[in-house]
Each structure stands twice: as structure tokens, then as C-alpha cells.
Structure 1
Amino acid sequence: MDDAVLPPPLATTTLPARTPLHVGQLFGHLAATAVPGVERWVPAPGGGALVRTLALPGGPAVVAAHAPAGDDAPGGVRLDLLGGDPADLDAAARVVRWWLDLDADPGAVDAVLAADGALAPLVAAVPGRRVPRACGAAESAVRTVLGQQVSTAAARTHTARLVARHGEPLPVPVAGATHLFPTPERLAALTAEELALPHARRRTLLGVVAALREGLLDVPVGRLDPGARAEHLAALLALPGVGPWTASTVALRALGDDDAFLPSDLGAVAGARALGLADDARALERRSAVWSPVRGYALQHLWGAVPHAINALPA
């Protein structure tokens, strides 16, 4: 079978979503950052679907989340289980709901952001932006370190190599999905020599992996309570080479801190300049105060203000 074709599902369900849902931004971001072997955007009738592997109670699985037509998504998001144990459909649905940020309240978020006159036109033009989340906190930490100071394409390349060497292969590839993302235990075999990274980043990644094996970020998928979140982030920040950008990215994507903000992010600064909001990271940090407690959602608008593949569905 052509690996670009979705096979018949073993089980299927619909994930309700609060509307509006900005489909292009959400699915476009996850498609542009998809790690080969673990994730893939697959064209499908009516649009396309995000395919990815998941480690579920019944074993390795492959799911497909179909992008709704339009940005209202009144029918929710269709989720297919393409490989694995059909009894794991509910478990898969819980992870994918988080991955797609379907439990967000877009009305409440947009009301906060629209109170700022500078963002109000953006919110009115593209309501319902979501925060693309991570399917695991440990995975998020590894991917974030690999994405430090490199392009989206380079981060995908580095991460795909890691997956190919250390990820658990699926019994049978499905729709281009071939491996589970490597667990901290499987990454114990990782060596500095195999990493095509600067020396400092190699050391950072190996340090993060060692901490993950000792229990750092060993948490369920989903929103962590503030106390536990602060504890894990403090431990993460204590590691050599881990700074605010990395920790805040993990907090936003994996731990549910909706107010996490990345003022030094190049894309965020570029968006702020394009919108006339700030010229540098310090000014952007000050400017962001009015967007609290949902600064993570403001980031999606800043990134959307400049051309980038993350802002729209693949052609």
C-alpha cells in the first residue's frame, strides 16, 4: 500500500471542539514541525490528516486526526485509530485532545487578547487560535533542545535521525509512521559522537536525557498543577544549557502553562516588529504583560504575523 494513503481505520471517534477553531494555524503548525517516522501530514479526502505514533496501554499505535473543513469545526475533529489495539481508542482520544488543545476556551482567550487594541484586529480576523501541544513532556524536552537556535527544518532533521536510531520500530509501518518517539530509557544509548550538533548543545541534550531517565518530566500527558509544574521547571532550568526559551517552550507545549512566553524567540520578535509592538526581546517582554494570563496564545498571533509554513495547511 502507498504509505501516503490512509488505511481503513480500526476504530474511529469524533473529538468535540469549542469553536471557533483556527484549523490552518493549528494543523499547519503541527504539519510543519512533524518529525519523520513519528508524525506526518497525509492528504486525504476533504483536506488532510495528521498521522502520528503513540505509546498506549495496549502497545504502539498510530492515529490520524483529520483537519476539519473551515474554521468553525462544528462537527469536531475526526480521530481514526489506524494501528494498534482498538480498545485504546479512548486513551488515544485523551492524548490527541491535548495535542490539538481542543479543551481551550477560545472565547475567554480571545476576550483577553482583544482587550489590547493592537491585537484586537488580529483576533477579529483569525479567532480561535490554539496552542499546539506535545504528546509527552519528555518528548517535548528532547525536541525543544534539538530545536535550540536552528530552523524548523533543521530541528526536524536532527530529531528524525534520533528517532531512526533510537525509536522503537512499529511492527508494521502505517501511513508513513514507522517508530515511536524514543523514551528516555532508549535514549540511554545516545552518544555525543552521533549528534551532528555543536558541542555545547550535545552536552545539553545528554544532560537533559540523563535527567529524564531519573524522573524529570515523568508526568501524565496534559495540564500539570502549578506546584508540580514549577518543581519540574526549576529542575529543568538547573541543567547546563537550558534557559528560559527552552523551559518556557516545555511549559507551554507539555505542562499547560498558558501564560508561558518566549520574548527572545526570533519568530515572536519578528512578528512583534511587523505589528509595531516591540523591536527587541526586552521590549516584547514588557509589552506582553497586558496579554497575561494567556500570553502563550498571544504567541500564536505573533508567529502568524510573518510568513512561515507553520501558519497554514500544507498545499
Structure 2
Amino acid sequence: MTASLEVVETTVTARRPLDVAMTLHPLQRGKGDPCHQRAVDGSIWRTSVQPSGPVTYRLTQSDRHTVHCQAWGEGARDLADGLNRLVGEQDECEDFAPEHPILAEAHRRFPHLRLGRTDRVMEALVPAILEQRVHGIAAFASWRRLVWKFGTPAPGPAPDGMRVPPTAHVWRRVPSWEFHRANVDPGRARTIVRCAQVADRLEKIVDLSPEQATRRLMSIPGVGIWTAAEVTQRALGDADALSVGDYHLASMVGWSLLGKPLDDAEMVAYLEPVRPHRYRAVRLLLVSGNAIKPKFGPRTPVVDHSWH
């Protein structure tokens, strides 16, 4: 058996209840994400590029406190070493005590909501850039096409259709016409390449505070506050990373908690009392089913950049 097919098995026993599917859900980029699949038996399959190389891993949960991981590939040991962070075992929320009755009830009903961290910056950053200013359907399609074209086969017994995402070295060399064919406009394409060129520096933000990490991310032209928040939520497990500038978020928060829409500035002011858990509050609204946003007009159009 080759090293790439040897399985590394790890078990995490959590102090508080957890739900691994709920924790990892923000990492999935659409239902057809080639880097994330949920099997019929409830297990979660994912791929990643760890510092030591590519990895495929399978997560299963036997009870509310226990998660078992099987990992294959050169990056299996690194993945196993960070498993407790990935499943949210180190997520601390003892000081989260929201006063709004909807948030308080959601927190009571979902004590197993955990915010995990992948410690993989580029794997969060590239999809976030693809999702800038476009419909999610189009961004997910772009991600699928690019991963299929430039990713690599998943090591081990991965389900059909799974791929390992491209490395920063590969992203730097994606031709402009391939971004074009994937319906990615030149602005987003240039931002991805810029980030890939300084990927080593960006990957080190996992050792910084969320504030320092955000500043470093936003020092890259094309990476704004929304993109930085989307990255720190996933790579750092930042419970306070509020996606300011999101097309729907401020309105959703307003309708859900106040019965009226808010703009970004009003949302930031309104959620100030729950700092440093503003992202946690948003996640609770979503997982509890209390997120409300009435539809008053046509949906955001899916723009096709590949025809011109």
C-alpha cells in the first residue's frame, strides 16, 4: 500500500455537544462542490491541501460529543492534528448571552452550534473572491469548473467526482482565458492571482488575531471587508466576523430581529451589543430557521461574463 492510500484515523471527544455537519456547512460551495460531499450515511467527505500535501478525509459522528475522522494522502497527519479546531472543539461561547429573545431562544435550542476553523486561507479566499458581486449560483459554477480543470484527483477512496482544490502555485498560473471560460470577470481573476502570488504571507494570518488578519487580507487590492470576513469566518473560526457589504445580510438581520430592513451601518450598530459574537448571531438565525427576508422584486440576475 502506498503512503497516499494509508488511512490515518483520529477521534475527537468534545466537552460540549457538537454537530459536525452544521459546523462544516459554511465550507461547502454549492451542492456540486467537488471538494465537499455528504454521503447517504450522513458522513462528510472533504478534500484539502495541507502544508504537507493533499488530503481526503471522512468525518462521522457517533454521538453528540464524538467525531471520528479517516484521512488519506500526504496531508493526513496535518489534518488529524487540526481536527479539534476543524470541528469547533476550541470554539468558546461561554460569554455569549444575547438579550434579544429570538437570539436567546436560538442559542438555547442550538447549543451544538460550533464555529470551526480550517487554518487554510487560500481555500477560503479563492471561493470568496469568486462570490464577490455575483449570484451564488454563478460563483459556485465557476468554482466547480476551475477545481475540475486545475485541481487534482482526491487521494484514497474518495467518492466519485471529488477533487483536491488547486494550490496557490497553480492559481498563479491559471490563464486569463480559463477564468473567462469559467465566467470570472478580469477584476476577480486578477484578485485571485494577486492573492496567490503572496499566498505564503496570507497563510500565516492563522497565527494572528482576527483584527490583524483582516488588515493583512485587506492590504491586497480587490479584497474588501466582506471578503476578509468570509475568510476569517472559515479559516480562523472568527465568531465576530460580520460580512458587511453582503447583498442580503443587513436586510435579513433587520427583518429577522426588528421586523424591518436595515442597511449595513444600521446592522453594525444594532449588533454591537453581541460583539464579539456577531457572526455567531447570524449563524444562529440561519440554522434556527428564524432568518427572514421578504421578497419584493425579481431575483438578482445571473450574469454571464464568458460570452464577451
Band of TM-score, shorter chain: 0.7 to 0.9
Q: Deviations over 1:72-100 (max 9, x none)?
A: x12x211112x325xx6542123443333
RMSD of aligned alpha carbons? 3.2
Could you tell me which residue of structure 1 aligns to residue 234 of structure 2? 253
* Aligned counterpart, 1:78: 68
Superposition deviation, residue 229 in structure 1: 1.6
Q: Aligned runs of 1:227-246 on 2, under 5 Å?
A: 228-236=212-220, 239-240=221-222, 242-246=223-227
Cα deviation digits, residues 136-195 of structure 1 (max 9, x gap): 101211010112234444332211111111113346662236422111210122233223
Q: d(CA) in 1 for partners of 2:38 and 2:44?
A: 5
Pick the aligned partner of 2:39 from 38, 42, 58.
42
In structure 2, the residue matched to 1:92 is 79
Does the aligned pair in 2 maintain the 1:170–1:178 contact within 8 Å? yes
Q: How many residues align?
A: 283
Does the CA-based 8 Å contact 1:233-1:251 persist in structure 2? no
Deviations 1:223-255 (A, max 9, x none): 53357424413313xx13x32211221122223
**Is residue 89–residue 116 contact of structure 2 (8 Å, CA) maintained in 1?**
no
Look up the match of 1:164.
148
2:298 maps to: none
Q: Does residue 1:127 correspond to 2:111, yes or no?
A: yes
Whether the 8 Å contact between 1:67 and 1:77 is mirrored in structure 2 is yes
Q: Distance in 2 between the 1:94 and 1:34 partners?
A: 28
- C-alpha spacing 1:178/1:112, structure 2 compared with 1 (3 Å): closer
* Structure 2 gaps, min length 5: 294-308
CA deviations on 1:244-287 (whole Å, 9 max, x unpaired) are: 21122112222343321124331453244133265122221111
Structure 1 residue 116 displacement after superposition = 4.0
Q: How far off is 1:31 after superposition?
A: 5.0
Normalising by structure 1, we get a TM-score of 0.76
Is the 2:122–2:196 Cα contact (8 Å) retained in structure 1? Answer: yes
**Residues 15 and 169 (structure 1), Cα distance of their counterparts in 2 relative to 1, 3 Å cut:** same
Q: Which residue of 1 aligns with 2:18?
A: 21
State the match for 1:276 in structure 2: 258
Q: Identity across aligned pairs (percent)?
A: 23
**SS of 1:303's equivalent?**
helix
- Structure-2 residue corresponding to 1:53: 47
Q: Name the structure 1 match of 2:122.
A: 138
- Secondary structure at the residue paired with 1:174? coil
Q: Letter of the aligned partner of 2:255 in structure 1?
A: R
Aligned partner of 1:306: which letter?
A
Contact kept, 8 Å, 2:214 with 2:228, in 1: the verdict is no
Deviation at 1:208, TM superposition (A): 3.2
Distance 1:277-1:136 versus aligned 2 partners, 3 A rule: farther
Q: Following TM superposition, where does structure 1 have runs of at least 4 consecutive aligned residues deviating by more than 6 angstroms?
A: none
Relative to structure 1, the CA distance from residue 35 to residue 173 in structure 2 (aligned partners, 3 Å threshold; closer, same or farther) is farther
Q: How far apart are 1:22 and its partner, in Å?
A: 4.3
Paired letter, 1:84? G
CA distance in 1, matches of 2:260, 2:115: 22
Distance 2:226 2:78 in 1: 31
Give the Cα–Cα distance (whole angstroms) in 2 for the partners of residues 100 and 156 of structure 1. 24
Pair 272,80 (structure 1): closer, same or farther in 2 beyond 3 Å: farther
Q: Name the SS of the counterpart of 2:236 in structure 1.
A: coil
